[in-house]
Structure 1
Amino acid sequence: MKKIGLLILSLITVLILTGCGQTKEKTITVVGSSAVQPLAESASEIYSEQNKGVYINVQGGGTGTGLSQIQSGAVDIGNSDLFAQEKKGIDAKQLVDYKICVVGIVPVVNKDLKIKNLTLTQLRKIFAGQITNWQDVGGPNLPITIINRASGSGTRSVFEKSVMNNLETKKSQEQDSSGMVRQIIANTPGSISYLAMPYINSDVKTLKVDGHEATKQNIVDNKWTIWSYEHMYIQKNGDPLAKEFIDFILSKHVQKNVVEKMRYIPISEMNYQKDDHGKTTKIGGK
């Protein structure tokens, strides 16, 4: 009996020690805006490397999905290109807003198109369907093919608020994915759409608007007016780990070494600010 008792005690000791040695895995889910998705994915990889046992599950789905999912408590963080109060059906008072950076939205065309610049009025008329051929804006005799983002897209909302001046966008082919938009533009002569700056590569051609390029300095000085904040929303009593991850993204190291390198802009560098109505004002002292 004594030997049996010692054996049981030994087994209990082993189980306790094994349990103490295990690392409990934690997961938080981040869903929403495709414009902020590349940043969230890059930051999540670094964060998980530095915090063993923590996994950040990043998904797209668009701003509308991000806001509705965080409001319902289905996810830990909802990514958005818009202020929550701009989205119908969202109770912004129940959420906590963290603006993590600024992103520029840029009109893009097929790279073979011989057009470099449009006025804001021309851009508006193209997406309203009032200009339908590139020869009407100094280009070749070629029909304009509009590729739009889906109606729940925050990128689309930002573009329409910044460009359309309450004019209705022409019904056209719609895409949920920024990557798919880029691919279609690359393969379709005469096509035009718009992308967040982190998605732009050599497959497509960017356009100037009113002679201004979508550079970092032009966005900082509001000479390029098609830009928005990237938001991460959490619930007021959400998982503390979600707030820790957001604080990590807002840290100086990540802002300098990840945010800027991916062509987002740290908010601290902006000379102008926007409110939830789209009103832009110069930041005092800058």
Structure 2
Amino acid sequence: MTLPDTETLLAAAGLVVTAVLWAVERFLPGRKRIGYRVQMDTAIGMNPRDAHSLVQLRLLRRDQEITDATLALLRFENDGGKDIVRQDYQEPLTVEFTGRTVIGVEVPDANPPDLVGMLTRNGGGLRHSGGRLVVPKVPLNKRNHFKLLVLLSADEGSGGGDGSRPSEVVVGGFISGGRIRRNTQRWGPRKLSLALGGVCIILVGLLSGLLLNRQTVVVNAECATGRLTVDGSTAFAPPMREIADQYEARCRGARIDVAESGSLSGLGRLSKAGTSAPGGGPAFLAVSDVAAPSIYRRLEGRRVGVILLALVVNERTGVDNLTTEQLRGIYDGRYTNWKQLGGNDLPVGIVGRDAASGTRRAFETTVLRGSEPGTVSSYDCSGKDRDATARVTRCEVNSTGSLLDAVGRVPGGIGYAEVYAAAKHPRVVGIRLNGREPDIEWGGQRNYPFWTVEYLYTYGQPEDGSLAAKFRAFMDSDTAKNILRKYRHVPCADQSAAPGSACHS
């Protein structure tokens, strides 16, 4: 073995120093970090001095005149190295505009777009009083950001109308294990990281050229390579697909295919894959809205979340609330027209799920307290073309999306689905159940009855280091939890936020 030459030593030393500087800048102040920048803070000139005798302009908002108005545009972003969840906020973000009063605030830009709804929702969104603006505790994955456009007026005697620069903007708040800091326009943390990263790349190239065939491989502890199939619940497929995409983005060489054949169908496919797998567990996971039947003795499940479900009706039915007793009357044929329940004169059209659906099992268990009638009187949900003697039109579909499509198409349609998907579907409205609405912030309440626990099943214990084991562990990460919250699910990894003991075995 020969000693490294001078050029190699210098390149290696430069790489180490640059990497240390980058790590100190990036991680030492706290991996949880919110950066903010005041991108604009300017007066709105409404009275032209040279033409004041000819014209006078006024700025009105909701028929109220605003004097000495200013506009401020602020950008907030997660520029640290770790995702930020609601529990990380010990004190919410606040913005103080000294010498000014907040008139209104809008969210002109956000990534992801779902942040807009979190920031502006009624009862829990942006609040302002006087010159103080309070920002709700919204989760921010790495590189997520949002902008706030604030309209202000100068307080009397503050001198805001003389054309001088607007008063100072002060941002406050406190993050556990992190910090909030102002990013300068000229040399922000991202540009500094990019600059140091560029130097690192140059030095790595130099060092690689000097060492020729020597390679350094950095392995992420949470990553594994290979191919994995996740199958089961159609209601849980959208967040699972997004979580899988995030894992693949972090872990090159991993491929995760998400199918949605239904909860019980997914459990059956996992059992079959495990039986035929040579010498160990298969590269297969099953997601189910219900616990696996006792016949699947080799399957081992973990509770990953509480999924909120909703009764949905076609927007033309004219109802927005039903009791569980009224629902049982609809499904056993006592009510055949919506006018019997205070709605419009339309025949009831029941859209059900097939026997493989875990959502159907949850509906039967928590709401109907019995089996959903098995008579299928319609092939396409629009009329009794299969059984003309049936009291009510009823069809069955095999997925959440198909159910929502059918309810939206049938004027008197009713069905059940996962809350997030239902809220985004046209011509379909969620209804209150016993006067209650599903809410992710429900904590320990049991007053809303329609929810279920989501299980992630493996065939026995997956082998340590396998893609199945690594991905199962990734379900407890901050990234996965934030995605579950986005879809209005309650992560079981945050057991304090789960309803009662639902996430405990």
Residues of 2 paired with 1:210 and 1:216: CA distance? 18
Paired residue for 1:263?
A: 488
Q: Does 1:76 align with 2:281?
A: no
Structure 1 unmatched runs, 5+: 1-16, 276-282
- In the TM superposition, residue 220 of structure 1 has moved relative to its aligned partner by 4.6
Question: Helix, strand or coil: the match of 1:29?
Answer: strand
- In the TM superposition, residue 88 of structure 1 has moved relative to its aligned partner by 5.9
Residues of 1 paired with 2:258 and 2:444: CA distance? 28
Question: Helix, strand or coil: the match of 2:441?
Answer: helix
| Aligned mate of 1:196, from 406, 415, 418 | 418
Residues of 2 paired with 1:263 and 1:167: CA distance? 27
Q: Does 1:119 align with 2:320?
A: no
TM-score of the pair, normalised by structure 1: 0.82
Q: Does 1:251 align with 2:251?
A: no
Bigger relative CO (Cα 8 Å, ≥ 6 apart)? 1
Letter in 2 for 1:140: N
Letter in 1 for 2:286: G
| Aligned mate of 1:242, from 468, 471, 477 | 468
Residues of 2 paired with 1:236 and 1:167: CA distance? 31
Q: Aligned pair in 2 of structure 1 residues 145, 219: CA closer, same or farther (>3 Å)? A: farther
- In the TM superposition, residue 145 of structure 1 has moved relative to its aligned partner by 0.1
Residues of 2 paired with 1:79 and 1:271: CA distance? 20
Q: Is the 8 A contact 2:225 2:467 kept in 1?
A: no
- In the TM superposition, residue 77 of structure 1 has moved relative to its aligned partner by 0.2
Q: Aligned pair in 2 of structure 1 residues 81, 219: CA closer, same or farther (>3 Å)? A: farther
Residues of 1 paired with 2:372 and 2:309: CA distance? 19
Q: Is the 8 A contact 1:221 1:270 kept in 2?
A: no
Paired residue for 1:272?
A: 500
Paired residue for 1:45?
A: 245
Query: Which whole-Å deviations, capped at 9, do the CAs of 1:75-122 have from their partners, x for residues lacking one?
Result: 5101101111xx36322xx12211111101110011122101001110
Residues of 2 paired with 1:117 and 1:170: CA distance? 25
Paired residue for 2:86?
A: none
Letter in 2 for 1:48: E
Q: Does 1:138 align with 2:364?
A: no
Paired residue for 2:235?
A: 35
Question: Helix, strand or coil: the match of 1:72?
Answer: helix
Paired residue for 2:308?
A: 104
Question: Helix, strand or coil: the match of 1:250?
Answer: coil
Greater fraction of residues in helix: 1
Q: CA RMSD in A?
A: 2.3
Q: Is the 8 A contact 2:306 2:453 kept in 1?
A: yes
Letter in 2 for 1:65: S
| Aligned mate of 2:438, from 202, 214, 217 | 214
Q: Does 1:185 align with 2:185?
A: no
Query: Which whole-Å deviations, capped at 9, do the CAs of 1:26-74 have from their partners, x for residues lacking one?
Result: 1011111111111110000000000001000110000111111112226
Q: Which has the larger radius of gyration?
A: 2
Paired residue for 2:452?
A: 228
Residues of 2 paired with 1:187 and 1:135: CA distance? 19
Letter in 1 for 2:296: I
Paired residue for 1:8?
A: none
Letter in 2 for 1:205: V
Q: Does 1:159 align with 2:380?
A: no
Q: Is the 8 A contact 1:63 1:82 kept in 2?
A: yes
Q: Does 1:61 align with 2:261?
A: yes
Query: Which whole-Å deviations, capped at 9, do the CAs of 1:163-192 have from their partners, x for residues lacking one?
Result: 112254252200001111111111210100
Q: Is the 8 A contact 1:219 1:225 kept in 2?
A: no
Residues of 2 paired with 1:170 and 1:77: CA distance? 30
Question: Helix, strand or coil: the match of 1:273?
Answer: coil
Structure 2 unmatched runs, 5+: 1-212, 218-223, 275-282, 376-393
Letter in 1 for 2:477: S
Residues of 2 paired with 1:214 and 1:189: CA distance? 24
Letter in 2 for 1:222: R
Residues of 2 paired with 1:55 and 1:258: CA distance? 19
TM-score of the pair, normalised by structure 2: 0.47
Q: Aligned pair in 2 of structure 1 residues 196, 247: CA closer, same or farther (>3 Å)? A: same
Aligned identity (percent) is 27
Residues of 2 paired with 1:95 and 1:175: CA distance? 27
Q: Is the 8 A contact 2:309 2:418 kept in 1?
A: yes
Residues of 2 paired with 1:116 and 1:32: CA distance? 31
Residues of 2 paired with 1:89 and 1:210: CA distance? 36
